[in-house]
Amino acid sequence: MGGRTAGTAVLLVLGLALSSCTEATPEPSPAPTPEPTAQEAAILDEESGVITLAFAGDVHFEAHLTRLLDRSRGALGPIAATLREADLAMLNLESPVTVRGQRDPKELEDPDNRYHFRTSPRALDVLAAAGVDVVSVANNHVGDYGAVGLADTLAAARDADVEVIGIGRDEAEALTPHRVTRDGIDVAFLAADSVFREGSSDVWAAGPDSPGVAAARRARPAALLEAVRSAAEVDDVVVVYLHWGRERQSCPTQKQRLLGRQLAEAGADVVVGSHSHVLGGAGWSGDTYVGYGLGNFVWYHNRQPDTGVLSVSVDRDGVVDDSWTPARIAAGGRPRPVAGPARGAAVNRWADLQRCTGLASERGGDQADDPAYTSSVRRIGATLAERMSTSHGPGCPVPLRDLRYLRMTHRDFDGVARTGEMVVHRRYARDVTLAFGRLYDVGFPIRRMRLVDDYGGDDDRSMAANNTSGFNCRRVAGQTTWSDHAYGAAIDINPIQNPYVRPGSIDPPSGRGFARVDRAGSAPVTAGVIHASDPVVSAFARIGWQWGGYWLSSKDYQHFAASDAR
Nearest CA to 206 out of 175, 164, 227, 243 is that of 175
Query: Do 185 and 74 share a structural domain?
Result: yes
Query: Do 169 and 66 share a structural domain?
Result: yes
Which pLDDT value is given to residue 43?
A: 52
Q: What is the rounded distance in angstroms from the CA atom of residue 541 to the CA atom of residue 292?
A: 28
Query: Do 149 and 290 share a structural domain?
Result: yes
In DSSP terms, 308 is beta-bridged to 326
pLDDT-derived band at 479, boundaries 50, 70, 90: confident
Which pLDDT value is given to residue 524?
A: 79
Query: Do 281 and 382 share a structural domain?
Result: no
Q: What is the rounded distance in angstroms from the CA atom of residue 353 to the CA atom of residue 434?
A: 27
Name the residue with higher pLDDT: 523 or 293. Answer: 293
pLDDT-derived band at 34, boundaries 50, 70, 90: low
* 292 to 157, 233, 269: CA distances (angstroms): 27, 25, 14
Residue 466 included in any domain: yes
Query: Do 257 and 119 share a structural domain?
Result: yes
Residue 74 included in any domain: yes
Peptide bond into 252 cis (omega under 30): no
DSSP string, 174-191: HTPPEEEEETTEEEEEEE
The pTM of this model reads 0.86
Query: Do 415 and 510 share a structural domain?
Result: yes
Which pLDDT value is given to residue 477?
A: 76
Residue 363 included in any domain: no
Q: What is the rounded distance in angstroms from the CA atom of residue 77 to the CA atom of residue 467?
A: 46
Residue 361 included in any domain: no
Portion of the chain with pLDDT greater than 70, in percent: 91
**Structural Rg of the chain based on CA atoms:** 28
CA angle 133, 94, 193 (to 5 degrees): 90
Residue 22, SS3? coil
Which pLDDT value is given to residue 134?
A: 98
pLDDT surpassing 70 at residue 335: yes
Instruction: Quote the mean pLDDT of the chain.
Output: 91
**φ and ψ of 122, to 5 deg:** -60, -25
Which of 306, 328, 356 is the endpoint of a domain?
356
Report the CATH number that the domain containing residue 149 is assigned in CATH.
3.60.21.10
Residue 368 included in any domain: no
pLDDT surpassing 70 at residue 262: yes
Domain that holds residue 269: 50-356
Query: Do 66 and 11 share a structural domain?
Result: no
**Structural contact between residues 277 and 247, judged by C-beta atoms closer than 8 angstroms:** yes
DSSP H or E run through 173: helix 171-174
Which of 306, 321, 356 is the endpoint of a domain?
356
Query: Do 102 and 31 share a structural domain?
Result: no
Residue 105 included in any domain: yes
Query: Do 424 and 516 share a structural domain?
Result: yes
Q: What is the rounded distance in angstroms from the CA atom of residue 558 to the CA atom of residue 499?
A: 6
Residue 365 included in any domain: no
Bridge pairing between strands 88-93 and 134-136:
parallel
Structural domain total, the chain: 3
Lowest mean pLDDT among 236-245, 463-472, 522-531: 522-531
* 381 to 32, 296, 429: CA distances (angstroms): 90, 52, 16
Q: What is the rounded distance in angstroms from the CA atom of residue 192 to the CA atom of residue 137?
A: 8
Which of 356, 389, 408 is the endpoint of a domain?
356
Query: Do 35 and 67 share a structural domain?
Result: no
Query: Do 55 and 39 share a structural domain?
Result: no
Residue 369 included in any domain: no
Q: What is the rounded distance in angstroms from the CA atom of residue 562 to the CA atom of residue 547?
A: 9
Query: Do 314 and 199 share a structural domain?
Result: yes
